[in-house]
Amino acid sequence: MIDRYLQQHRTRFLTELQQLVRFPSVSGQPVHHPDIRACADWLAKHFRQIGLTVTIHKTAGHPILEAHTPVIAGLPTVLIYGHYDVQPPEPIELWKTPPFAATVRAGKLFGRGASDNKGQFFAHVKAVETLLATQKPFPVNLTFLIEGEEEIGSGALIKFVHQHARRLRSDYVIISDTGMYGKGWPTLTYATRGIAAFELRVDGPNRDLHSGVFGGSLANPALVLAHILAGCVDAKGRITIPGFYDDVQPLTAKERRAWRALPLNDRRYAAELGVPTTAGEAGYTTLERRWARPTFEINGLTSGYQGPGGKTIVPAWASAKITCRLVPNQSPKRIDQLVVQHLRRLTPKSVRLTLDSGHYSPPFLTPTDGRGARAALAALATAFGRPPVCTREGGTIHILDNFQRQLRGEVLVVGLGQTDDNWHSPNEKMELNNFYRGIAMSVELLRRLSPAPAPAARRVLPKT
C-alpha cells in the first residue's frame, strides 16, 4: 500500500518540489525577503493540506515553521529539521538554466536550494504525507521544524530552540542536510567537528614606516605574526599549543579499520584539490585528519602593502584570521583559553596584541549503536539497496550539538545530498534518485522508530 502510494504520486511529488524550488528564498538578500515569506506561506499551506497542524512563528528575522502530526499518547516523539532558505544564486551567468527555474535534466533537478536543503527536507514531508495517507495510526508523534535562516547563521532558530526546548524535546531528531560518502551510497553521519574562531592583530608603529630609514630598529609586525603563527603548529603538523590535545577522544581501532576500508585514493584526492601531495598531522590518514583530528587553520592574512610591485615599509600592523576545528571531547571554551594564553605567551613586548575570539560551536558525536541509529541504518539499507556507511564530517553543523543538548533526543544525520550537488555554487542540483529513495528511507525510518516497527522488506547488514 505504501509502495503503491509512492509509485502513484511520484510525478506530483516532483512537481511540488519544483514549485518549492522556484521560490527565490534567499535569506541573505533583502530584495528576496518577500519571497522568503511567500515560500513559508506556501509550505504552511502544504503542511495543512497533507494533514498537519501548523504554526508560523514570527522571529526577529525570517519565520520558523512548526508542524505536527495529530498527537497520539505513548508514541515516541520525532523532530525533523530542515531549512527553506537558500544561498544567493550569483554568479547567475554560470548557470546553464536559470537558478529558480527548477529544470529537470537527466534525472536531476537543477535549481538553487534543490539539494541544500529543499529537496532533502521535502523528501521527509512526502514520507509523512505517505504515512498519513496509508497508515493508521501514524507511527510516531512527529514535528517538523523548518527554519528560514540556515544560510545566515540560524540566529532565530537557536534562540527559538532554547526558549521552547521543553516543548520541543524529542526522542529522535532527524536531519538530512549533508551528503553521502559516495554517489548513491547511503550514509549515516555520526559526528561533526566543532569550531573556535580567533582574530589576532599585531600592532607595531602608529603608521607604515620607511623600511630604510627605520627598518631594523623596531619589531616588524608581520614578522612577529609569522613567528606567533609558526609557534602554534610544528613542521610535522602537530599543534604545539600546550593542552590542546588533552581532551581529544582517540579514534577506536574499529573506526580506524572501518575508515581504511572506505575508498579514498590519496593521489587522486591531491590531484583534485590541486596540491602536490596531501599533508597534515603525522600518523593519521587523510580521512582521520579530516574527520577526527583537530586543526589550527589560518583563514586569512593581512599586512602592509599588497598591490602590484613593492612598497618599502615596515607595516603598522598585521592580522590573521584563524579557526580551529575541534573533535570530541574538546570544549570550545577550554580551547579558547588555551589558544589565547599561548598566543599571548608568544607575543614579544615590542608589539601590542589584540585578540578577538569569534563564534564557536562544540563538536558533535552520537553512538552508531543506539536504537535510532540502528533504525536509520536499516532504513538506509532498505531504501538504497546497499549497505550504508557510518562516517564523520569534518565541517561543523552548529545546530546538531544544539539539538542534542536541548532536545535531549538521539540525533540522526542521514544526508540525501551528493558531494557533486554544487551546494553554494552555480548549477546546484538534486539527484531525483536520492529524492525518491529518501522518501522511502524516511517512511521506513519513521516506522522503525515506532514501538512496534513493521519488518523491513529485506535486511541488509549495515557497514559501520
Closest contact distance (angstroms) between CB of 269 and a copy of itself is 8
Determine, following the binding rule CB under 8 A, whether residue 427 of this chain makes contact with a copy of itself.
no
Q: Is 306 in the site for a copy of itself (CB under 8 A)?
A: yes
Cα dihedral: 361, 62, 85, 101 (round 10): -170
340-379 binders of a copy of itself (CB under 8 A)? 348-352, 358-359
Judged by CB under 8 A, the residue of 152, 165, 199, 463 near a copy of itself is 199
Cα–Cα distance for residue pair 235/300, rounded to 1 Å = 20
Q: Is 132 in the site for a copy of itself (CB under 8 A)?
A: no
Among 51, 88, 155, 304, binds a copy of itself (CB under 8 A): 304
Contacts 24+ apart (CB under 8 A), 215-222: 215/314, 218/314, 218/350, 219/348, 219/350, 219/351, 220/314, 220/315, 221/303, 221/314, 221/315, 221/316, 221/317, 221/318, 221/351, 222/303, 222/304, 222/315, 222/318
213 sits near a copy of itself (criterion: CB under 8 A): yes
Residues within window 140-169 making contact with a copy of itself, judged by CB under 8 A: none
Using the rule CB under 8 A, is 289 a contact of a copy of itself? Answer: yes
Residue 432, H or E segment:
helix 432-449
Decide if residue 290 touches a copy of itself (CB under 8 A).
Answer: yes
Applying CB under 8 A, the span of 161-169, 230-238, 241-249, 252-260 interacting with a copy of itself comes to 230-238
Among 22, 46, 325, 437, binds a copy of itself (CB under 8 A): 325
Q: How far is the CB of 287 from a copy of itself (least distance, A)?
A: 8
353: DSSP letter: E
The answer to whether 233 contacts a copy of itself (rule: CB under 8 A) is yes
Question: What values do phi and psi take at 60, rounded to 5?
Answer: -65, -25
Residue 369 Cβ vs a copy of itself, minimum distance, rounded to whole Å: 26
* Contact call for residue 89 and a copy of itself (CB under 8 A): no
Q: Binding of a copy of itself at residue 205 (CB under 8 A)?
A: yes
Helix, strand or coil, per DSSP, at residue 291? helix
Of 386, 409, 421, 458, nearest in space to 175 by CA: 409
- Residue span binding a copy of itself (CB under 8 A) among the ranges 128-136, 183-191, 315-323, 329-337: 315-323
Binders of a copy of itself in range 173-192 (CB under 8 A) = 192
Query: What is the DSSP pairing of strand 77-83 with strand 141-147?
Result: parallel
Name the phi and psi angles at 290, rounded to 5. Answer: -80, -35
Residue 277 binds to a copy of itself (criterion: CB under 8 A): yes
Cell of 307: 598591490
Given candidates 282, 395, 459, 461, which one binds a copy of itself under the rule CB under 8 A?
395
- Run of H or E residues at 361: strand 352-361
Q: Which of the residues 26 through 45 are near a copy of itself (CB under 8 A)?
A: none
Nearer to a copy of itself, 133 or 340 (CB): 340
Q: State which residue, 307 or 455, has the beta carbon closest to a copy of itself.
A: 307
Least distance (Å) between residue 459 CB and a copy of itself: 33
Q: Residue 292 CB, nearest distance to a copy of itself (Å)?
A: 9
What whole-number distance in Å separates Cα of residue 310 and Cα of residue 306?
8
Half-sphere exposure of 72 toward its Cβ, with a 13 Å CA cutoff?
Answer: 14
Copy the grid coordinates of residue 255.
573506526
Detail the DSSP E strand segments found in 46-186. 53-57, 64-68, 77-83, 103-105, 108-110, 141-147, 172-175
Number of residues that make up the chain: 464
Q: Are 410 and 94 in contact (CB under 8 A)?
A: no
- Nearer to a copy of itself by Cβ, of 94 and 279: the residue is 279
Point out which span in 8-16, 27-35, 211-219, 373-381 binds a copy of itself (CB under 8 A): 211-219
> What is the closest distance, in whole angstroms, from the C-beta atom of residue 400 to a copy of itself in the complex?
13
For residue 453, give the DSSP letter: P
- The verdict on 270 binding a copy of itself (CB under 8 A) reads yes
Of residues 29, 240, 286, 427, which one binds a copy of itself by CB under 8 A? 286
Q: In this chain, which of 229, 379, 389, 432 binds a copy of itself, going by CB under 8 A?
A: 229
